[in-house]
Amino acid sequence: MRTRPTLAWEPTGGLPPASTDLSGVVEAVRAGGITVLSGAGLSTDSGIPDYRGEHGSLRRHTPMTYQEFVGGEPARRRYWARGQLGWRAMTRARPNAGHRAVTALGEAGLVTGVITQNVDGLHRSAGAADIVELHGSLSRVVCLDCGHLSARTELDHRLREANPGFEEAAEDHRAARVNPDGDVELPEEAVRAFRVVACAACGTGVLKPDVVFFGENVPPERVEACGRLVARAATLLVLGSSLTVMSGLRFVRQADRSGIPVLIVNQGPTRGDRWAAQRVDLPLGQALPALVAQACS
């Protein structure tokens, strides 16, 4: 059974007020045993927009759903054409101060696991350990027929060979803003002639980025791995996520049921605020380096 995609959430009354005081978060992190749950807000300083913030991509872009992708060749052609330019932008993105702060807290023995909803690979690039990429990674491609996994760099080479001149023709759109799912807006005329390639392993299979699309379920073994990280945590620290989709919110609810404190650092209210001991409303690029300085002193 596929989940229905949740693209929006509107806060209701009765949510606890936010704070700009980091002291409670510092105290919890200093005690150790932290599991981090990170979202798109952590990558905005790397040039990748979030989904739902003030300048979030959902204000101008509706992500392709799993059902659309598997539903026909035109949708897949549109995805891979737009993703061909988006992939370039994603590979240019570099970890920011927030990613480096999470890594530093891990190296200090205070963060013992990271669950990220992001598919950009920036936690890994920053050197963080014990990461579960909840929604997968754009760096991998999976065949929906034979299950073969391959590197996105390999597919990039094949798509460029199959579409000579495409990137030059789309040059006017190269500066378009990349979305969190690696997509870049392109007009229909720019994608109409794009050729999609089949799986190199089986010869005929449909290729999909190894990420969880809206409307697709997270693999159960991945959910279980995240659940184990939460179960052994002293505190669950949410960074840069509105927690709109259940795939991330479920871990906040799990922590609450188990009596594990939940702390949230995010600009704007989240769907998990009612279960949080505290939400700190500060930019992550400001809050996380300060958190490292104070918790590790």
The top-scoring range by mean pLDDT among 8-12, 54-58, 217-221 is: 217-221
Quick one: CA dihedral 264, 266, 272, 275, positive or negative?
A: positive
* C-beta neighbour count of 20 within 10 angstroms: 8
| Residue 40 assigned as binding residue | yes
The chain-wide mean pLDDT, for the chain, equals 88
Going by CATH, does the domain composed of 23-295 fall within 3.40.50.1220? Answer: yes
Half-sphere exposure of 250 toward its Cβ, with a 13 Å CA cutoff?
15
Please check whether residue 126 is in contact with residue 102, taking contact to mean a CB–CB distance below 8 angstroms: yes
Binding residue per annotation — 125?
Answer: no
174-184 burial, b at 16+ Cβ within 10 Å, e below that, comes to eebbbbbbbbb
Which pair of tokens denotes residue 47?
């040039």
| Position 176 confidence tier, pLDDT thresholds 50, 70, 90 | low
**Count of residues making up the chain:** 297
Say whether 172 counts as a known binding-site residue.
no
d(CA 269, CA 52): 11
Any known ligand binding at 39? yes
Taking residues 215-233, report their average pLDDT. 96
What pLDDT score was predicted for residue 228?
98
* pLDDT at residue 191 in the model: 81
Which residues are designated catalytic?
Answer: 135
- pLDDT range class, residue 56, cuts 50, 70, 90: very low
Instruction: Decide if pLDDT at 61 tops 80.
Output: no
Q: Is 273 annotated as a binding residue?
A: no
Of 296, 232, 237, the residue nearest 104 (C-alpha): 296
CA atoms within 13 A of residue 50's CA, in its CB half-sphere:
25
DSSP-derived letter for residue 19 is B
pLDDT of residue 166: 81
**Taking residues 134-150, what's their average pLDDT?**
96
Confidence (pTM) = 0.87
Query: How do the domains of the chain map onto residue ranges?
Result: 23-295
Residue 111 has pLDDT above 50, yes or no: yes
- In this predicted model, what pLDDT tens digit does every residue of 8-48 receive, in sequence order? 556 666 677 889 999 999 999 999 999 999 999 999 999 88
Q: What letter would DSSP give residue 44?
A: G
